[in-house]
């Protein structure tokens, strides 16, 4: 029996969270910092020294020797450079532990070896990391000892974003501002902020480390390039939700403990469809924190696997012939006082605000389907999308019977008079309770499904950062909200105007709604008939970033400049090219050294021609 742990005791133990801030900061400083964190007020630089002092004390009490600005360059993984807290030795040869406000707020590093996609020449090397105080600092304990991690954004000397966090924060501002306009139109004068939230389900494979080390292809490319299917794959469906084996259980227990200490609310764990495939899902939180937490989760999965003599594979398709791994990005908009803008209520046909929001989401997804697809474009994902286990590369929306029925009523008669209800689920067994059924079934084949009070974007690859998908989601909806608010604020008769607008949005964007089997060949044909883009590979998708439509969208909200978009496209092409090249070189190496040579060394007869 393993030792018992008290989750409430360890949760957030290594996070400079609200209770740590209260304990370590003077009341006035705490209040100012909270205003920035909660209301988006500008950070008052004069408090930086005091905050830095508080964080340092807290970290050192817990054994920290170093701090690191932690950032997310365009490589898709995280980067860190560690500095110890020690000062220059004093005259008596001793050191003191120091950490200034300047060191907390700003880091300067040589950015020249991070991908910039032509934004800078190599000689223009300076890059800055800037503290993102809305994502809490945390401690990591490992072989290096204890290190204080400070989540930061990363920009070039000229201020261009070189990372995945800066645009995300900007997109969160954009959706906040436009959502508030919509809420005000419906008479809400009290909500102060609208925060996009994400709950990120992470799929992964675990394999024995010794076996991993025998495979150059897994080591260099993250997937097997040669091999044959074993006699048994996933055909018996006996792994999905199967009981968790002891070795994997011990691993999951360690992962949970590590994540809980870091304040990541790991909640759900289960075996997935493919043999050796598993999933972990945390409770949703605001998107920039969710993105950081997902990065921490991926790192924790890898580190913990190693401790258990396992290797965690985050590649989208490590093994041909069985399912690959994705990352479902559950997304919603919630006000600071707890209103979820995607909540339809019991009777959506009467919920005019919800119908307007839904119409705007349909417009956003339809108009920018290419950008959404692009936001999930990593080479590994090309092998998964459309392979009868994950949605195809075609973006469509699944809304469920209840909402589709309401939309049909609106499109045909202009009025929606009822919402179909789920009714009661009768178990037919006297000892089992009957219960209220959901109004809508699930559809696993859809890349973008409405699931009750959130949208689940299922196209993201398992190894990828969820930052770009959320940047796109936030910005495209901000645009649709802005257009709706412009129109409705100018209307004389609001009720009439909103009714007409909802109907128009639904009629114009009905084509993006699809509830059939997204894995089928017929859908590919039908989607083409509807004029929906089918961007099958990274190479097909990347140009979506630099269309006039995309540049106009992102520039109008200050999320990306044209130059930043061009650089991102460049980086993605380059990463694709390098990935394919490494795979090709690995194949040649293995074929030459491990397959042909071994085959020649074994007694055999040559196959007859
Ligand atoms: P499933 O496997 O059925 O898709 P899970 O329970 O594994 O669902 O994961 C659902 C994810 O959605 C969790 O991370 C959960 O916290 C998140 N989630 C639930 N409600 C919301 C919401 N309103 N906004 C964003 N994410 C949400
Ligand atoms: Mg899911």
Rounded CA-CA distance 327/200 in Å is 6
Distances from the Cα of 526 to the Cαs of 446, 518, 535, in angstroms? 14, 10, 15
Residue that has been written with the tokens 């965690």 in this structure: 312
Tell me, what's the pLDDT at 422?
74
Q: Which ligand sits nearest to residue 328's alpha carbon?
A: 2
Rounded CA-CA distance 461/463 in Å is 6
Q: Atom 14, ligand 1: which residue's CA is nearest?
A: 199
Q: Which ligand sits nearest to residue 452's alpha carbon?
A: 1
Query: Within 10 A of 309 (CB to CB), how many other CB atoms are there?
Result: 12
Q: Is the CB of 364 under 6 A from ligand 1?
A: no
Query: Within 10 A of 361 (CB to CB), how many other CB atoms are there?
Result: 27
Extract the tokens encoding 271.
Answer: 């075996």
- Quick one: which of 360, 377, 425, 414 has its CA closest to 541? 377
Q: Which ligand sits nearest to residue 459's alpha carbon?
A: 2
Domain ranges of the chain: 7-163, 170-224+237-422+433-584
Tell me, what's the pLDDT at 561?
95
Rounded CA-CA distance 303/318 in Å is 19
Q: What is the pLDDT of residues 241-273, one digit of tens each?
A: 888 889 999 999 999 999 999 999 999 999 888
Q: Is the CB of 176 under 6 A from ligand 1?
A: no
Mean pLDDT of the chain: 91
Q: Is the CB of 509 under 6 A from ligand 1?
A: no
Q: What is the pLDDT of residues 428-469, one digit of tens each?
A: 666 666 666 666 677 788 999 999 999 999 999 999 999 999
With H, G, I as helix, E, B as strand and everything else as coil, classify residue 557: coil
Q: Write down the pTM of the prediction.
A: 0.93
Task: State which CATH number among 3.20.20.70, 3.30.590.10, 3.30.470.20, 3.20.20.150 fits the domain covering 170-224+237-422+433-584.
Answer: 3.30.590.10
pLDDT reading at 427 higher than 60: no
**121/100: higher pLDDT:** 100
User: Which conformational region is residue 276 in: left (phi greater than 0), alpha (psi within -120 to 50 degrees), or beta?
Assistant: left
- Quick one: which of 331, 199, 366 has its CA closest to 267? 199
Strand partners, 108: 128
**What atom of ligand 1 comes closest to residue 282's alpha carbon?**
14
Query: From ligand 1's centre to the CA of 548, what distance in Å?
Result: 34
Contact 344, 354 (CB under 8 A): yes
**pLDDT band per the 50, 70, 90 thresholds, residue 153:** very high
- Quick one: which of 83, 162, 66 has its CA closest to 117? 162
Task: Choose the residue to mutate in 278, 284, 338 for probing ligand 1, maximizing ligand atoms within 8 Å of C-beta.
Answer: 284
Q: Which ligand sits nearest to residue 297's alpha carbon?
A: 1
Q: Is the CB of 450 under 6 A from ligand 1?
A: no
CATH 3.10.20.70 is held by the domain 7-163: yes
Q: Is the CB of 281 under 6 A from ligand 1?
A: yes
Burial of 146 (0-12, 13-18, 19+ CB in 10 A): middle
Rounded CA-CA distance 51/419 in Å is 52
Q: What is the pLDDT of residues 335-377, one digit of tens each?
A: 999 999 999 988 777 799 999 999 999 999 999 999 999 999 9
Q: What is the pLDDT of residues 581-609, one digit of tens each?
A: 999 999 999 999 988 877 777 777 666 65
**What atom of ligand 1 comes closest to residue 332's alpha carbon?**
24
Residue that has been written with the tokens 């740590």 in this structure: 20
Query: From ligand 2's centre to the CA of 355, what distance in Å?
Result: 24
7-163 and 170-224+237-422+433-584 in the same fold:
no
């Amino acid at each position: 029996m393993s030792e018992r742990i008290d989750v409430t005791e360890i949760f957030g133990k290594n996070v400079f969270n609200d209770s740590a801030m209260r304990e370590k900061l003077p009341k006035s400083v705490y209040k100012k910092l909270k205003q920035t964190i909660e209301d988006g007020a500008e950070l008052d630089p004069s408090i930086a020294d005091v905050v830095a002092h508080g964080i340092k004390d807290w970290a050192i009490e817990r054994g920290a020797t170093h701090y690191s600005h932690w950032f997310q360059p365009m490589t898709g993984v995280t980067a860190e450079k560690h500095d110890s807290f020690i000062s220059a030795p004093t005259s008596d040869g001793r050191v003191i532990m120091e950490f200034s406000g300047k060191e907390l707020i700003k880091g300067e590093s040589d950015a020249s070896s991070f991908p910039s996609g032509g934004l800078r020449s190599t000689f223009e090397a300076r890059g800055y990391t800037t503290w993102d105080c809305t994502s809490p600092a945390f401690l990591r304990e490992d072989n290096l000892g204890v290190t204080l991690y400070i989540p930061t954004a990363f920009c070039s000397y000229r201020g261009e974003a070189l990372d995945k966090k800066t645009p995300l924060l900007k997109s969160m501002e954009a959706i906040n501002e436009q959502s508030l306009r919509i809420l005000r139109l419906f008479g809400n004068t009290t909500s102060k902020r609208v925060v996009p939230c994400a709950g990120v389900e992470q799929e992964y494979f675990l394999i024995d480390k010794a076996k991993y080390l025998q495979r150059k292809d897994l080591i260099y490319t993250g997937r097997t390039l040669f091999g044959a299917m074993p006699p048994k794959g996933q055909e018996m469906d006996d792994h999905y939700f199967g009981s968790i084996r002891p070795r994997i259980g011990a691993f999951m227990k360690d992962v949970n403990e590590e994540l809980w200490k870091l304040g990541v609310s790991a909640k759900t764990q289960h075996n997935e469809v493919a043999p050796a495939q598993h999933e972990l899902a945390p409770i949703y939180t605001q998107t920039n924190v969710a993105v950081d937490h997902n990065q921490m989760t991926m790192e924790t999965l890898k580190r913990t696997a190693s401790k258990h003599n396992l290797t965690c594979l985050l590649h989208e398709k490590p093994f041909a012939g069985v399912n690959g791994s994705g990352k479902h990005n559950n997304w919603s908009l919630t006000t600071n006082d707890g209103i979820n803008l995607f909540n339809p209520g019991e009777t959506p046909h009467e919920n005019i605000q919800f119908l307007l929001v839904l119409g705007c989401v349909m417009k956003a997804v339809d108009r920018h389907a290419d950008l959404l697809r692009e936001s999930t474009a990593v080479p590994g994902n090309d092998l998964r999308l459309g392979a009868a286990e994950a949605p195809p590369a075609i973006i469509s929306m699944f809304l469920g019977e209840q909402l589709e029925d309401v939309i049909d009523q609106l499109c045909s008669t202009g009025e929606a008079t009822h919402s179909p209800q789920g009714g009661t689920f009768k178990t037919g067994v006297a000892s089992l309770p009957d219960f209220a059924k959901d109004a809508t079934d699930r559809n696993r084949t859809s890349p973008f499904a409405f699931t009750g009070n959130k949208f689940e974007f299922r196209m993201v690859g398992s190894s990828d950062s969820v930052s770009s998908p959320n940047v796109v989601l936030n910005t495209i909806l901000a645009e649709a909200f802005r257009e709706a608010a412009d129109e409705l604020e100018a209307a004389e008769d609001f009720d009439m105007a909103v009714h007409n607008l909802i109907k128009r949005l639904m009629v114009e964007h009905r084509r993006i709604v699809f509830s059939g089997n997204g894995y089928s060949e017929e859908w590919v044909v039908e989607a083409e008939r509807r004029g929906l883009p089918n961007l099958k590979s990274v190479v097909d998708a990347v140009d979506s970033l630099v269309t006039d439509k995309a540049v106009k969208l992102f520039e109008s909200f200050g999320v990306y400049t044209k130059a930043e978009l061009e650089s991102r496209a460049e980086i993605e092409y380059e990463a694709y090219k390098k990935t394919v090249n490494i795979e090709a070189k690995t194949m040649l190496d293995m074929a030459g050294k491990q397959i042909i040579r071994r085959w020649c060394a074994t007694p055999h007869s040559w196959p007859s021609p």
